Copies of this chain bind each other. A is one copy, B any other.
Amino acid sequence: MPYVNIKITREGVTPAQKAELIKGATDLLVKVLNKNPATTVVVINEVEMEDWGIGGLPVEEYRKTLTSS
């Protein structure tokens, strides 16, 4: 019955990669806690770049500071 939520920036994640994330997260709960896959929910949220902040900046601006430093 676990609920797993994965938030990532929207940067071209493919359906195949999402399926891999779903399978991997579910397998992890089975392996570590012996949870039932049939009631393990995984929800992926893709977040627009302008909506994700780190270091006090929108992530794209933050990354520029890293590459320019």
Contacts and interface: CB of A to CB of B under 8 A. Distances in A.
Interface of A: 1-9, 13, 15, 17-29, 31-33, 35, 37-47, 50-59, 61
17 contacts: A1-B8, A2-B6, A4-B7, A4-B25, A5-B7, A13-B33, A18-B51, A19-B58, A20-B32, A21-B28, A21-B32, A22-B56, A22-B58, A37-B55, A39-B39, A39-B54, A42-B52
Nearest to A3: B7
Given A43-B7, A43-B51, A59 B1 contact: yes
A8 B2 contact: yes
Contact of A17 (B8, B32, B40): B32
